[in-house]
Structure 1
Amino acid sequence: MSVEDRIYKELIELVRIPSVTGSDGEVEIARYIYDGLNKERYFMEHPGHLNLVPGPDGHRHSVVALVRSSLNVPDTVLFIGHLDVVGAEVYGNLADKAFNPEALTQAMASRPMDGQARADLESGNWIFGRGVMDMKCGVALELDLIKEFARDPSLFGVNVVVALVFDEEGSSQGMISALPLLADLAEREGLNFIGAVNTEPTDAGLPGAPGPGYFLSTMGKALVMTYVIGKEAHGGSYFGGLSASLLQSFIDLEIEARPELRDVLGPSVTLPPFVLNRECRQKEVYSVSIPHLNMAYYNVFTVARTPRDVLGMFKEAAGRGVKKALDYIDASYMEMKNFGYAGAARERGDVSIFDFAELRRQAAHNYTGDFERAEREMALKLKSSGKDLREQGIALLEWEMSWRDKKGPAVIIGFLPPFMPHRSNYGRTEVELRFNRAVEATVSYAENVFGRLLMECPAFGGLCDLSYIGCEIDEGERQTLKENTPGWGVIYDLPFDLMEKLNMPIINLGPLGRGAHTWLERLEWDYALGELPQLLRQFLINSGVGS
């Protein structure tokens, strides 16, 4: 069977497993991959080189496999990929075919779709289905490569580790929980990691990319929460209260889609922040009370900003939003008075703006008893509740609000999980320079052998687990993040020391696809199955001894 046929067959089998984040399919696919690798003679003879790594819930697992080169070298290339996919609800009445690429692609012929998708479908070079591009194809490529290497360890002058993890589409708990094993493997086996390769599709990192490319950096992400406290009042006494929803609306307008809040590093430019969730916190049943508690959290992409930078940016934006909201309500009140309104009087007052670290200091000062013990017990209780990680952090903040100094209106700003550091390959160390030479040689190979011009793209914009393969955050910034994330160390944590220990240059070199997370998700298979397998192998050759 040809390499192309092997990878295609593996891809179809992987997609058939509906490994939606948090589902039983996510458990099934890890076992499927582990069992498949365990049949290889190499792993029978080296059982310590194949590991099923449990996550924090003990239910989901990642698969980490090592194949050592017969040349007995320490240099090692790490491949990573994620096993989970987003749900298939967007497929509507085609949802039953979403995980059957061949049947779905055939059924697509009768469906209306945009011009590009129609052209791709009719070309015969694209296959549709949930996960075909994001990122079961990358997983199939990596599995085929390591199986081939396991059968002939003389192929490459470097060792290869493949880490296939769960929860990338969620909070990256799979990658984070695999880091201790990767560090242990490095120490136990004497491995020297010289670089990490992810095989996410180009379009996931650069939507609308005209062709295949590669990325030497990846954007980071902060999830920033604004918790707004207004002033309670009956709706009939509206001007006697202060709507937290109104305050939040004006804060939103100072943050969401604001071009001036983009982050920039060289050619890499992020999207501005945007709201991922917003909700009124105190209303579980209907009432005519003014909403006095409101929460929103925002996606913030980074390529250069630090946690301290992000907090400062949000405090300034919240200050502008609050002022405009108060000016707006004052003007409304005065105009209503001109119309004869004689109800509850409007009192402007102040709105405090501070971060979660300050709230925690106030709570610790005012709490009667052992605050740290009580806080930890509450965090543990929330962690065991099974609630969403974001909800756990918000609930802990609400618990601490009881002991703040002032009970008046306020905006509290902090972080929620996940935090994804941005990563870049600056070419400043010998390891990075060597890695870059291997990349350049592979790009030249693509042009010389396939006539393929691979684009060097800006930072990978789709977010990926390469964020955790290294650490560019100094101790002061780590402390800012820890102090301003409710429940850090219990509800959520990052092993910064391990990340720093594993620090290595990165590249994303994956297939060409379109429509990630939509019902038009699809993969172009000529490049994915015909050229890319050889490019990945050539990269290993270029990275090896004597290259």
Structure 2
Amino acid sequence: MDFQKNVYNTMKELVAIPSISGTNQESIMADKIYKKIVEIPYFKENSHNVGIEDIAGDPLGRSFVWALVNGKERDQSTFILSGHLDVVGIEEFGHLKSVAFDVEKCTKKISEMELDKNTRRDVESGNWIFGRGTADMKFGIALNMELIREFSINRNFKGNVMILIVPGEESNSEGMVAAVPFLLKLAEKKKYNYCGMIISEPSIPEKGEIESKRLYIGSVGKIMPLFFCVGKETHVGESLNGLNPNLIVSEINRLLECSEKFSDSAYGTVTPPPMCLKQMDLKELYSVQSPLYAAAYYNVLTLKIKYEELIEKLKSLANTAFLNVLDNISQKRNGFEKKSHQNLDLEHFQPCVMTYRDILSQVENKYDDFSSYISQKIDVWKKEKKDNQTIAVNIVREAYELYEEKKPMIIISFIPPYYPHKYLTNKDGISSKFMDVIDGAIEYAREEFQENIVKTDFFMGISDASYTGICESDSSVDSLISNIVGYDIIYKLPVDELKKINIPVIVFGGEGKDLHKYTERLNLPYSFNVIPELYKYIILNMLK
């Protein structure tokens, strides 16, 4: 049976397991992958080179799978092929839910759904297969598994080839985060040098494109700033005598939502501007008293911005928002005094913007047991099934309530998850060699397959590439981490390990379209005929 047929059959098997992120099917998928790999003769003889590793403390009991082939000529250089085993749900498939995980049936029946012109053309071409996970990314996993099988047979290379298959990419990258300390320990134990990694995410068309054949040398980062706003309560009959935090958080939203000032840019790429993911006050029951607290958190994408710079920009925006609100309230008070012929003796407020780190340090200095107190509260909140973001908001509230100086303010922090931006540069010898090999692979694709692959600076979908190392300086990262609410309690990144490991990585895979939609599909000729040869070209040239 030829290589392409093996990849196709393995992909079909993997797609058939509905490994939706956040379900026990992720564990079933990991077990399936592990059992297929250990049946490869090489791993029967070298059982120490394959494993399924539990993610410590994972509520779903998930695992990641790894396998490594040593070349005939021993060397420290180790190349990694990685991908995620989880997929998103299938709610949008309608009456085709029953075949969403069956490649051939879904491809046959997809025409029963409403299709746009582009999708209809792809169906009629016969060059595309449909189904959840075909593109994102069961093909990539199947390809990596069959490549490790092939490399284990001939072993005609110098160094080592490894596959790493992780869960949780569609949620919070729990699998890749857990794999980082493992990779570092393996490297230290075996003296391995990770010379490169391919994350097998598919290339998808950008605006105006009919097809997409791209290789990404960077991956966008993500950070989530939280604005916790404290007002001053008042009775509704005395509305001008207080300060409603809803007004403050609304002004922050007006200034920050879709603001191009917070679009990061690098190498000609510009991130989409921020968007508010949640805005709320924290008043739980109806009463005629105004709320005391309100909060909002945002999705901010990064390419190169220094975190100290981002924090300063957020503080400046918050201060402007506070001043705008106070000016607006002052005008309305003056207007009411004229209309009512009253001379009101009302409290006047001053803008106050602080970071969570500043509040926390003062609270911890006064209350030695604050950390254990919060840990107990977190246990309660987790039992109530609150998500990490809600728990983070609650932690800021608890910290403020123990803070001595009670007054209206805006507290700025970051909340989980955090994805560092990553970019492949020519700053060191390994990365420089990797870039040369990539350029050679693109030229090889043009000459041998008449395929024009575009080297693109950033993969703009969040990816596990973020957890292959941190590009920022230690001080910048430490500054950020100190402002992540609940860090080390509800959310932890292996920051020290990420600083040490720093694997050169690209995002490169088959050609896909409409990820996370019922029209998700994978191009057959390019994905099965071209991509495997380019992977071999890159791996073998990196291990020369």
For the aligned pair, the TM-score class normalised by the smaller chain equals: over 0.9
Q: How does 1:192-203 map to 2 (within 5 A)?
A: 192-203=193-204
**Counterpart residue number, 1:273:** 274
**Per-residue displacement from partner, 1:370-417 (whole Å, max 9, x unpaired)?**
444444555566567764222332222222121113222211111111
1:80 aligns with 2:79: no
**Counterpart residue number, 2:120:** 118
Q: Which amino acid aligns with 1:394?
A: V
8 Å CA contact retained: 1:14, 1:136: yes
- Identify if the C-alpha distance between structure 1 residues 292 and 341 changes in structure 2 by more than 3 Å, giving closer, same or farther: farther
**Counterpart residue number, 2:540:** 541
Distance 1:307 1:174 in 2: 25
TM-score normalised by length of structure 2: 0.93
Distance 1:97 1:235 in 2: 56
Distance 2:273 2:258 in 1: 5
**Counterpart residue number, 1:282:** 283
Q: How does 1:140-155 map to 2 (within 5 A)?
A: 140-154=142-156
8 Å CA contact retained: 1:432, 1:505: yes
**Counterpart residue number, 1:48:** 48
* Structure 1 residue 304 displacement after superposition: 0.9
- Identify if the C-alpha distance between structure 1 residues 110 and 330 changes in structure 2 by more than 3 Å, giving closer, same or farther: farther
- Identify if the C-alpha distance between structure 1 residues 332 and 308 changes in structure 2 by more than 3 Å, giving closer, same or farther: same
* Structure 1 residue 282 displacement after superposition: 2.5
Give the fraction of aligned pairs with identical amino acids, expressed as a percent.
30
Q: Which amino acid aligns with 2:102?
A: N
Distance 1:507 1:23 in 2: 28
Distance 2:380 2:46 in 1: 41
Q: How does 1:110-189 map to 2 (within 5 A)?
A: 110-154=112-156, 156-189=157-190
Instruction: Name structure 1 gaps, 5 residues minimum.
Output: none
- Identify if the C-alpha distance between structure 1 residues 189 and 365 changes in structure 2 by more than 3 Å, giving closer, same or farther: closer
8 Å CA contact retained: 1:225, 1:296: yes
Q: Could you tell which deviates more after superposition, 341-350 or 534-543?
A: 341-350
* Structure 1 residue 347 displacement after superposition: 4.2
Distance 1:346 1:95 in 2: 61
- Identify if the C-alpha distance between structure 1 residues 68 and 249 changes in structure 2 by more than 3 Å, giving closer, same or farther: same
* Structure 1 residue 125 displacement after superposition: 1.8
Distance 1:107 1:288 in 2: 57
Q: Which amino acid aligns with 1:314?
A: L
* Structure 1 residue 448 displacement after superposition: 1.0
**Per-residue displacement from partner, 1:103-146 (whole Å, max 9, x unpaired)?**
33333213223322222223222222222222222111111111
Q: Which amino acid aligns with 2:223?
A: A
Q: Could you tell which deviates more after superposition, 22-31 or 406-415?
A: 406-415
* Structure 1 residue 346 displacement after superposition: 5.8
* Local SS of the residue matching 1:487: coil
Instruction: Name structure 2 gaps, 5 residues minimum.
Output: none
Paired residue total: 541
**Counterpart residue number, 1:251:** 252
1:105 aligns with 2:115: no
Q: How does 1:250-329 map to 2 (within 5 A)?
A: 250-283=251-284, 285-329=285-329
TM-score normalised by length of structure 1: 0.92
8 Å CA contact retained: 1:223, 1:298: yes
Distance 1:348 1:118 in 2: 63
Distance 1:279 1:94 in 2: 37
**Counterpart residue number, 2:98:** 96
Distance 1:485 1:498 in 2: 18
Tell me the C-alpha RMSD between the 2 structures. 2.4
8 Å CA contact retained: 1:330, 1:346: no
**Counterpart residue number, 1:60:** 62
* Structure 1 residue 81 displacement after superposition: 0.8
Q: Could you tell which deviates more after superposition, 118-127 or 348-357?
A: 118-127
* Structure 1 residue 447 displacement after superposition: 0.7
8 Å CA contact retained: 1:237, 1:344: no
**Per-residue displacement from partner, 1:288-311 (whole Å, max 9, x unpaired)?**
443332222111111111222221
Distance 2:410 2:341 in 1: 29
* Structure 1 residue 506 displacement after superposition: 1.4
Q: Which amino acid aligns with 1:357?
A: R
* Structure 1 residue 337 displacement after superposition: 5.1
Q: Which amino acid aligns with 1:362?
A: Q
**Counterpart residue number, 1:404:** 403
Q: Which amino acid aligns with 1:501?
A: K
8 Å CA contact retained: 1:233, 1:290: yes
Q: Which amino acid aligns with 1:355?
A: T
* Structure 1 residue 240 displacement after superposition: 2.8
* Local SS of the residue matching 2:186: helix
* Structure 1 residue 214 displacement after superposition: 0.5
Distance 2:37 2:358 in 1: 51
Distance 1:219 1:501 in 2: 20
Distance 2:14 2:155 in 1: 25
Q: Could you tell which deviates more after superposition, 441-450 or 54-63?
A: 54-63
* Local SS of the residue matching 2:283: coil
1:460 aligns with 2:459: yes
8 Å CA contact retained: 1:352, 1:411: yes
Q: Which amino acid aligns with 1:493?
A: K
Q: How does 1:463-502 map to 2 (within 5 A)?
A: 463-502=462-501
8 Å CA contact retained: 2:104, 2:129: yes
Q: Which amino acid aligns with 1:186?
A: A
Distance 2:401 2:237 in 1: 27
- Identify if the C-alpha distance between structure 1 residues 292 and 440 changes in structure 2 by more than 3 Å, giving closer, same or farther: same
Distance 1:341 1:135 in 2: 69
Distance 2:279 2:510 in 1: 35
Q: Which amino acid aligns with 1:509?
A: F
Distance 2:243 2:538 in 1: 61
**Per-residue displacement from partner, 1:248-280 (whole Å, max 9, x unpaired)?**
111012112111211112222211111122232
* Local SS of the residue matching 2:470: coil
Q: Which amino acid aligns with 2:305?
A: R
8 Å CA contact retained: 1:15, 1:100: yes
**Counterpart residue number, 1:10:** 10
* Structure 1 residue 215 displacement after superposition: 1.1
8 Å CA contact retained: 2:319, 2:352: no
8 Å CA contact retained: 2:262, 2:300: no
8 Å CA contact retained: 2:326, 2:349: no
